[in-house]
Chain A
């Protein structure tokens, strides 16, 4: 039976051939390390978000009169509703962390260099879309925390003259955060961002497959460390097959990802649910402290400390543009960051600044 089914599929799709070419004969560089697994972990993270999101979608009601209640019912009345919501909330934060770590390691290993500029841009846009997922999903429970955090973030475009108010109105569907905002954030979260994410992920994977995985610059001969000037697929014929060696590393990190997720759910179940997250949204009562999630805290703090809000927004956009187009700024041939003291200092400075701003924004 199994053999007949396999044969049927083989004739039509060529499963064996697909597995052979993409898994068992697909070769990865010999000096590949555990940090190369973050991309796969992020992809599994996305799958978890989709599955848990579909479970939540069954009971969630995107209306200001029912949204809060429906989320509380998911937590208290729906069998295992709490588990899917906790996985979705923890997963949204862990996925951003996984993509962040993936980009960090790509940066440190110089793997964004020619001809992988577009791979980097695709990854940066994926990070941006994931943050947009987090931000749009944040409003959906319609709590005091989510309502006011959304009010804060959607007020940021108002600092831009002429078009700012228009942009804020488009985001909110009016002058204030209302039911119209909830409707469009919900639509954005469940029907616009997922295909956008898949499109970008497909583009990113296509480039990874087309160009081949970049080896680490550490411990390689000098000519290997230099970026290419013309196309040739990096097939790593002397490397290891993806399966089982690297697949095991991928699965190991996926299990670590899930273990971290359940560690948080077990021991820190309220880490992303402060007191205001269990109070229904009240447009007439501003909470004492309003702040966005951890991944937007540094940007939020930067906006707060720059007295001119327009300048603050422009600096944010400029920093985003630099981040997105970094491969075009850094055109040095040397990939090894250990041989580039200036880049090392710049990286450490930016990273420490980000950490300081994040904790400053939290206090």
Chain B
């Protein structure tokens, strides 16, 4: 029997050595391919902009983008600039919707394709009106940067940046008006992260936070301090509801843990009891 099994194994294993290198396409198909279908970055924009033929300043763009908040959220070159990243021969044609570098006046519309609410409030603000009138007002890129765009936070309002065009006093009042809500947003973000770490599916809370955050950020692009002050209460209330929701989930997790610990003690205790009974019976 042992000989039979060994023979069968040898008959099966040996041809596998031969078949492994038998055909070229077999080798190509199975030996070099990864087990999982990895996503291969097929992007004509990145290929060209990373090449030596590109101007040095343009070569830095892919790396800047990779570090950006946009890249982290899967927003790629063509999402802003249009074109076709899959076909290098026509990637930058107008037929494929390519838009190159926008002029200063075009920037708000360029970013506003996605950031619709912000565009509306910005255009009604002093910043937007100034840009439209003179072509020199601060637009999105002036405050947020372009390819290496990072997640916006309150620190974007600072003397160095705002002081380029006007005195910081007014901006400082705005920053103070935003401070409490921003702080609360930070606390809730930590809470959502903790929920995720605890293995809780927190998409509902994340979506609610995201919507409130977007609404809030949209508001302060009006650069209207009195409006921000007036509506801060609404945001604080919304965020308080969300915070309570997160706290309730943590309270539920604690109660689950206690219940489970009770069952652990119950079964552990029964194990000890049975052991003692067994020992007594044996003696």
Contact = CB atoms under 8 A, between A and B. Distances in A.
Interface of A: 72, 75-76, 82-83, 86, 148, 151-152, 155-156, 158-159, 161, 244-245, 248-249, 251-252, 255-256, 258-259, 262-263, 265-266, 269-270, 273, 275, 277-278, 284-286, 290, 303-304, 307-311, 314-315, 317-318, 321-322, 325, 328-329, 331
A359 to B, nearest CB: 19
Interface string B29-59: 0110001111100000000000000000000
Interface in B1-23: 1-2, 5-6, 8-9, 12-13, 16-17, 19-22
B36 A152 contact: yes
Contact of A315 (B13, B22, B275, B282): B13
B31 A325 contact: no
A158 B30 contact: yes
B249 to A, nearest CB: 8
Question: From DSSP, what is the main secondary structure of chain A's interface residues?
Answer: helix
A251 B281 CA distance: 15
B136 interface: no
Contact of A83 (B8, B38, B201, B259): B259
Contact of B260 (A151, A262, A286, A318): A262
A259 B264 contact: yes
Contacts of B263: 258, 262, 265
A322 to B, nearest CB: 7
Contacts of B35: 152, 155-156, 303-304
A244 B274 contact: no
A273 B267 CA distance: 24
B198 A331 contact: no
A270 B259 contact: no
A246 B65 CA distance: 68
A158 B200 CA distance: 36
A72 B281 contact: no
B275 A331 contact: no
A315 to B, nearest CB: 7
Given A248-B274, A262-B267, A275-B196, A321 B16 contact: no
A159 B267 contact: no
25 contacts: A76-B201, A83-B260, A155-B36, A159-B30, A161-B22, A248-B274, A251-B274, A252-B274, A255-B270, A262-B261, A265-B263, A269-B257, A278-B201, A284-B39, A286-B38, A308-B17, A308-B30, A309-B30, A310-B16, A311-B16, A315-B13, A317-B12, A321-B8, A322-B9, A325-B5
B12 A311 contact: no
Point out which of B1, B9, B200, B201 has the most chain A C-beta atoms below 10 A from its C-beta.
B201
Contacts of B274: 248, 251-252, 255
Contacts of A284: 39
A317 B39 CA distance: 30
Nearest to A331: B2
B199 A310 contact: no
Interface of B: 1-2, 5-6, 8-9, 12-13, 16-17, 19-22, 26, 30-31, 35-39, 196, 198-202, 249, 256-257, 259-261, 263-264, 267-268, 270-271, 274-275, 277-278, 281-282
B275 A252 contact: yes
Contacts of A263: 264
Contact of A248 (B5, B202, B249, B281): B281
A266 B261 contact: yes
Contacts of A314: 12-13, 16
Contacts of B200: 75-76, 278
A197 to B, nearest CB: 24
A328 B37 contact: no
Contacts of B268: 255, 259
Contacts of A83: 256, 259-260
Contacts of B30: 158-159, 308-310
A321 B9 contact: yes
A75 B198 CA distance: 12
Contact of A148 (B26, B36, B277): B36
Given A152-B36, A317-B12, A322-B9, A258 B20 contact: no
A152 B38 CA distance: 11
Contacts of B16: 308, 310-311, 314
Contact of A259 (B19, B36, B259, B267): B267
B37 to A, nearest CB: 7
A262 B271 CA distance: 13
